[in-house]
A and B are shown apart, each in its own frame.
Chain A
Amino acid sequence: MSGTYLGMPAFPRAAATATRDTRLRANLTHATRTIRDKRAKAVAELDDWAELRAAGAAVKDRTLRHLDHYLEQLEAAVTAAGGQVHWALDADEANRIVTRLVRETGETEVVKVKSMATQEIGLNEALARAGIRAYETDLAELIVQLGHDRPSHILVPAIHRNRAEIRDIFRREMASWGRPAPEGLTDSPAELAEAARLHLREKFLSAKVGISGANFMVAETGTLVVVESEGNGRMCLTLPETLISVVGIEKVVPEWQDLEIFLQLLPRSSTAERMNPYTSTWTGTTDGDGPQTFHLVLLDNGRTDTLADTVGRQALRCIRCSACLNVCPVYERAGGHAYGSPYPGPIGAILTPQLRGLAGPLEESLPYASSLCGACYEVCPVAIDIPEVLVHLRERVVQGGPVTLGGTRTVLQPAKGHAAERAAMRAAGWAFDHPGALRTGMRLAARTRRLHPRRLPGPGRVWSRTRDLPEVPAESFRDWWQRTRGTSSGRGTWAEPGTSSEPGTSSEQRGDAK
């Protein structure tokens, strides 16, 4: 599965393919359940989790409301500390800026810290087109890159792969990217990790340019923060001569002290760790220590449009912990690739359509990629009400409405292909608002119940492919009430459950329950 995210089939089709892949489902089920259980334990250890969560949401909301102010403060602080700030409106502009900056160093190879922002803009592909090779140094990203694959999880990009697959990828591909895999490599975790370590160490020591994202940017000090588990990030952030960081504008927090909240919320939610293993912070440049040139590329790419939507903007609180993916029953069955972007799972289902502006069949299908079970909202460390945003975006899809695109307020037309559904909803709405007509319809359905098939043709087929339809009872509740109670009559009758194979047949035939 190589290639870009564009042109992905709409979610239901991609998900249907994924649910048939038994190995993928086994890999995903095992991995998400393990991490889900560990997270629940780590969170339960803190008795002030609810307060921390509320505080995280509040800091993010306040910052987003005054984003212009904090970004200007950040720019001033980064510049004062010796860094250079670049503003990128969209993916193309960000890619052009980074490509130019790398070219100016004269280098053709860069090492990368795992970064969602650079995934989002397709930086590696853009660099490749300019003749620059970007080496991913995060173990899972390395597996994905060597496998000519795409990430399928925010935190564990290679979650869809098992150890045997990883061994095969290392054996087959490592040589063409640098140091080959050791002879006789097995699928033991220690051997796989050692093979990656040897392969990557050569890159760390030879690279002159590092590219990263950041988990947080502190406006008051101009400090960037990367939170990682393997230490590869710290190597990339300190060894090269030039460091280029591409960061979404929503990652800013006002003060250093705000990190206190997020450095508790993030590791427990994502890796179920009490404290994050490697937290690196850097502020501009320092003579004789670390990169001597530092560039910060501030990425918009749909974020200010998202910010303009008062319901949808809460998606920008996201700290990319991936707890919502791990708990989502839809993600667990569909896998990450079905979501068609580096942001899979529930957060991807609300973030991608907003960043890209409900632009095509995939984006229109994503708000429906949820049963609205609410598990994602429950685990979200910054309390993003994902079900609320999903329903809000569904409304945008079927009814249209005001949106901001490219900074301009515009009215979105309803998506095509929902005409039949719209008509059905209208008809149902009319019927439900005219109980007399509804009752006539229900009586007709009851009278013809012997003729109802248990498997349906046409649009109902998708339901009856795997499920039997219920039988329509002979009498609706409403008619039973009318018959037994009339206007003010006495007690009705009720049959015990299971006393008949035909629920709902007229109850007077089988006596009073009491």
Chain B
Amino acid sequence: MRVALFVTCINDMLHPRTGQAVVALLERLGVEVGFPTEQSCCGQPQFNTGYRHAAEPLMRRFDRAFQDYEYVVTPSASCAAMVRDNYPRIGAKAAAERRGRGLVDAAAVAVPKMYELTEFLVDVLKVEDVGASFPHTVTYHPTCHGLRVLGLGDRPRRLLEHVEGLELRELPGAEECCGFGGTFAVKNPAVSAAMGADKVRHILSTGAEVVCAVDNSCLLHIGGTLSRRGAPVRPVHIAEILASTEGSVR
């Protein structure tokens, strides 16, 4: 099994610990992880803001970087969704614009090997108990792309429920968007802030010490809002919880 980590640009720059956690976790589960250094951004910010053409070279780069791997695993539901949902769309549009079928083929290769981390754990490795220990109260925010585009369902929850010492707290209004939405946060700052404020209010109502998610971009927005309020809740990517062996008695 040849597995590559697609760390994503945001994690590479701002959340290296999440990438490190994925490596630690997968290696603990006996998976040999590669990191092709020619990888870069999936093109989601460009595509979602309307710059489809700017996403095309990144799509080709993705294809090149991961061509030798059977599986590509990423700790970002929205980047996985970008590859799975939008790469075929970009390929089809390029073909419709008579620019050849290169991107159609690139998408066809990329889509089946792309896995979000929790999906890979549950569907491919078939594990729910990853041997983690995290003695804290945690609430889980199911991100929009994880929930609706990838259809992660209860996979992340099942993984969390097996973490030793972890107490999962129900998040009210869990399925509602946190208001980040990439450039939406900048283009519609008032609505984004209002959505973020409501999400944070719900998080605080759980009394949990930690809010976790399958995407650091949402946690960036939620964490930034929590921090501005001086709230003590820590945003932690689910990979870091699943890799944790804090206070393990096993």
Contacts and interface: CB of A to CB of B under 8 A. Distances in A.
Contacts of B152: none
A475 interface: yes
Contact of A394 (B50, B189, B234): B50
Contacts of A507: 17, 20
Contacts of B107: none
Given A467-B221, A468-B228, 7 more contacts: A333-B195, A369-B188, A371-B195, A399-B51, A399-B53, A432-B58, A473-B14
24 contacts: A12-B190, A12-B191, A371-B182, A372-B48, A373-B181, A374-B144, A374-B147, A374-B149, A375-B144, A399-B52, A428-B45, A435-B40, A442-B12, A465-B189, A465-B193, A466-B189, A467-B196, A477-B19, A481-B19, A494-B20, A496-B245, A496-B246, A498-B210, A498-B236
A480 interface: yes
Contact of A333 (B35, B43, B149, B194): B194
A496 B134 CA distance: 9
- Main SS of the interface on chain A? helix
Contacts of B195: 329-330, 333, 371
A84 interface: no
Interface stretch (A123-131, A197-205, A419-427): A419-427
A375 B148 contact: yes
Given A371-B179, A374-B148, A397-B50, A12 B188 contact: yes
B27 interface: yes
B215 to A, nearest CB: 12
A457 interface: no
A371 B49 contact: no
Contacts of B185: 462-463
A496 B244 contact: yes
The 6 A-B pairs of least Cβ separation, nearest first, read A371-B181, A394-B50, A467-B224, A373-B177, A16-B190, A477-B16
Contacts of A334: 191
Interface string B54-90: 1101100100000000000000000000000000010
A472 interface: yes
B15 interface: yes
B240 interface: yes
Contacts of A476: 12-13, 16
A471 to B, nearest CB: 8
Contacts of B49: 394, 398, 421, 425
Interface of A: 11-12, 15-16, 19-20, 25, 329-330, 333-334, 367-375, 377-378, 388, 391, 393-399, 421-422, 425-426, 428-429, 432-433, 435, 438, 442, 445, 459, 462-463, 465-470, 472-473, 475-478, 480-482, 485, 491-499, 503-504, 507, 513-514
A372 B181 contact: yes
A391 B82 CA distance: 12
Given A425-B46, A497-B244, A475 B16 contact: yes
A482 B36 CA distance: 11
A343 B176 CA distance: 22
B156 interface: no
B10 to A, nearest CB: 10
B17 A494 contact: yes
Nearest to A14: B190
Given A371-B195, A429-B57, A432-B41, A473 B16 contact: yes
A428 B50 contact: no
A426 B56 CA distance: 12
B167 to A, nearest CB: 15
B58 A378 contact: no
Given A442-B13, A514-B245, A12 B181 contact: no
Interface in B156-192: 175-177, 179-192
Given A395-B52, A442-B12, A491 B149 contact: no
A475 B58 CA distance: 23
B50 A485 contact: no
Given A371-B192, A470-B220, A391 B48 contact: yes
A504 B17 contact: yes
Q: Which of A16, A429, A473, A495 has the most CB of B within 10 A?
A: A429
Nearest to B78: A372
Nearest to B57: A433
Given A12-B190, A433-B40, A371 B241 contact: no
B9 interface: yes
B91 interface: no
Contacts of A396: 50
A333 B17 contact: no
B114 interface: no
B16 A480 contact: yes
A476 B32 CA distance: 21
B236 A497 contact: yes
Contacts of A463: 185-186, 189, 224
Interface string B200-231: 00000000001000000000110111011000
Nearest to A468: B227
Contacts of B241: 497
B188 A368 contact: yes
Interface string B96-125: 000000000000000000000000000000
Contacts of A428: 41, 45-46, 54
A162 B27 CA distance: 58
Contacts of A368: 183-184, 187-188
A466 B228 contact: yes
A470 B31 CA distance: 31
B244 to A, nearest CB: 5
Nearest to A455: B228
Contacts of A442: 12-13
A429 B224 contact: no
Contact of B225 (A11, A466, A498, A499): A466
A504 B49 CA distance: 29
Contact of B15 (A375, A398, A467, A503): A503
A504 B19 CA distance: 11
B94 interface: no
B46 A429 contact: yes
A498 B133 CA distance: 13
Contacts of A375: 144, 148, 175-177
A429 B234 contact: no
A306 B150 CA distance: 29
A370 B188 CA distance: 9
B144 A373 contact: yes
A226 B228 CA distance: 51
